[in-house]
Homo-oligomer: A and B are copies of this chain.
Amino acid sequence: MANQGNDIRITLIGAGTIGLSFATFHLSHLSSPSQLTILDTRPDLEEYVRSTLPRFLPDAPISHINLSSSLPDAVRNASIIQESGPENLSFKKSVWGEVEKYAPKDALLWSSTSGIPASQQAADMEDKTRLLVVHPYNPPHIMPLLELVPSSQTSAGVLTRTQEFWRARGRVPILLKKEMTGFVANRLAFALLRESIHLVNEGVVSVEELDRIVETSMGPRWTIAGPFKSYHAGGGVGGLEGFFRNIGGTVQECWDDAGKLNVGEGWEESIFQQAKDQYGVVDLEERDRITKRVLDVVKEEKNRE
């Protein structure tokens, strides 16, 4: 299949948190760490990667990864170029302009952006067919989801090769058929966050109580079956239709008086403070370790069928 085997060469542009998390993922799937190049213009790149990458991957074979500060060198032999740089349109446009000059003609070009459309990023490119957004759910070395958001010019072949790459590595690439601000995952999470802010602001529960409610109900439920599947099951033999027949009235009532607070409307101070008092600095290692075990359990169980 495409993109597999010893000839694949991946170049990551940007050695921030997302870039190094992707590096971790790719290192677990490449035959040799020499197939990976990390491009970043920070002067202390090697020292920085040496001190930071082991947080994601304790035994990272750092001396075998190519570290580069020269874009032409870094992309010249790449089959995949994955950009996780600053969220800044002019940066991205200039990167892709350079990449186009030096990279092989059939290299796949992926941006991790959470908000700058591929069409805008590719505006100055001659060949706009190879670029698309491959938006991870952080951190990508743990979370299976990739939202694929092409421009209208991205070619079908590029989409297929991209999907195959991720599927072959046990990931879940979902192709969005339309571009929306925030894509899908963030839009959904932000909708729930808005209602969360409303309920805490109304004094129904605290920040910590709201989190515990989600952790002990929807979190685990939606890990096994997303919202539609869950409510389809909840409707019994009538399915999702039966669910709405039974309690559509209550659903509508909740929608009617749902939270409509906006950013900057005065709810912030108390909620930010509660989060700070309650959580301090979150232990990401613990979070990621447990998340990985949960995902492994689900995979194992679903593969039993």
Question: Could you tell me which A residues sit within 8 Å of B by CB distance?
Answer: 114-115, 137-138, 143-145, 147, 172, 174-178, 180-182, 184-196, 199-200, 202-205, 207-229, 231-234, 237, 239-241, 244, 247-255, 257-259, 262-264, 268, 271-272, 274-276, 278-279, 281-282, 284, 286-287, 289-291, 293-295, 297-298, 301-302, 305
Contact = CB atoms under 8 A, between A and B. Distances in A.
> Max chain B CB contacts within 10 Å: which of A189, A217, A233?
A217
A204 B182 CA distance: 12
Contacts of A255: 190-191, 194, 262-263
Contacts of A187: 195, 199, 254, 258
A92 to B, nearest CB: 16
B143 A250 contact: no
A94 to B, nearest CB: 23
A176 B212 CA distance: 12
Contacts of A241: 268, 272, 275-276
Nearest to A249: B263
B218 A188 contact: yes
A287 B228 CA distance: 14
Contacts of A297: 290, 293-294, 297
Contacts of A293: 297, 301
7 contacts: A144-B216, A145-B217, A175-B209, A177-B205, A182-B250, A211-B227, A244-B268
A216 B178 contact: no
Q: Closest 9 A-B residue pairs measured CB to CB? A: A211-B226, A219-B222, A219-B223, A233-B282, A191-B195, A144-B216, A214-B226, A145-B216, A137-B217
A227 B196 contact: yes
B282 A143 contact: no
Contacts of A247: 114
Given A177-B204, A234-B138, A227 B193 contact: yes
A204 B191 contact: no
A48 to B, nearest CB: 17
Given A184-B199, A194-B255, A298 B287 contact: no
Of A144, A176, A227, A240, which is in contact with the most chain B CB atoms at under 10 Å from its CB?
A227
Contacts of A225: 211, 215, 282, 287
A176 B298 CA distance: 32
